[in-house]
Amino acid sequence: MEIVVSPEFDFVMNQYPESIKSKLAFLCGLILQTAAETPGIKRIEKTLKWGEPSFLTKQGSTIRVGWKKSKPRQSKLGQYALYFNCKTKLVDTFRECYSDIFNFEGNRAIVFEESDVLAIDELKHCIMLALTYHKRKHLPLLGV
């Protein structure tokens, strides 16, 4: 699989505090691993969308990784998330499948707390659905 990297991607990733950078880097690695394991994905682009590190495939919808600084009474690190295009059926489908596992923000994100233990298989399934969205958007529940 070809990986095309925008120089801005690494610049923005390196601006995050070390504690959050490792969590976002893990999500980025999971996206790349899932892309490599998904039939038909020959190329993925690491770039910026809305100022955040993002992943694009020809057959999919943009996936972004991001961080929200903590608010009073929240964890020190704050929340971090995988963001998806809010005009897709992705997060609604994820919620239907995994509402007992993940926390969601509206129709645009899967949100994690710093102490969360990530459900890797379920997360990779969500990532795969996003990476192949254009092939499955016409299917009920995206073909799940």
pLDDT, tens digit, 9 for 90 and up, residues 90-140: 999 999 999 999 999 999 999 999 889 999 999 999 999 999 999 999 989
49: three-class secondary structure by DSSP? strand
* Burial zone of 123 (CB within 10 Å; 0-12 exposed, 13-18 middle, 19+ buried): buried
CA distances from 54 to 61, 83, 119, 120, 143 (A): 10, 9, 21, 19, 24
Nearest to 46 by CA among 7, 18, 83: 7
Residue recorded with tokens 């129709």: 107
Percent pLDDT > 90 in the chain is: 83
Residue 57 lies in a domain: yes
Total structural domains within the chain: 1
pLDDT band at 75 (very low <50, low <70, confident <90, very high): low
Nearest to 51 by CA among 16, 25, 26: 16
Residue 144 lies in a domain: no
Question: What are residue 81's DSSP bridge partners?
Answer: 66, 111
Whether 5 has a pLDDT exceeding 90, the answer reads yes
CATH number at residue 114: 3.90.1150
What residues make up the domain containing 117?
2-134
Per-residue pLDDT, 72: 45
Residue 139 lies in a domain: no
46: three-class secondary structure by DSSP? strand
